[in-house]
Amino acid sequence: MSQCASIISTSPEVMSGTPVFSGTRVPIVTLFDYLKAGESVDDFLEGFPTVKREAVVSLLEEAGKLLLTDRAA
């Protein structure tokens, strides 16, 4: 997930090292929790306005690429 380094950050000082969207305190897992619950990306962005749409789209694209690459191997 090459691009994810600019999308995701981890630091012991931010949320005890939980992976978050860079520049925010919003855990990445929160996006997936929203999606699993049937909520939309728009719902997530409304609830977490510090996260940019571009970051969410990039994260989902990179995750999709990783999954497709793993299946092809």
**All domains of the chain, ordered by start, with CATH?**
4-65 (1.10.10.10)
pLDDT value at residue 35: 97
Alpha helices by DSSP H, the chain: 4-7, 28-36, 41-47, 53-72
What string of pLDDT tens digits covers the 73 residues of the chain? 456 668 999 999 999 999 999 999 999 999 999 999 999 999 999 999 999 999 999 999 999 998 888 665 5
Q: What is the pLDDT of residue 1?
A: 45
> Which residue's entry shows tokens 């090459």?
2
| C-alpha to C-alpha distance for 28 and 65, rounded to whole angstroms | 17
* Residue 67: per-residue pLDDT: 87
Q: What are residue 9's DSSP bridge partners?
A: 20
Distance CA 64, CA 50 (A): 23
- Cα–Cα separations (whole angstroms), residue 59 to 1, 13, 23, 31: 9, 22, 14, 10
What are the φ and ψ backbone dihedral angles of 19, each rounded to 5 degrees?
-60, 125
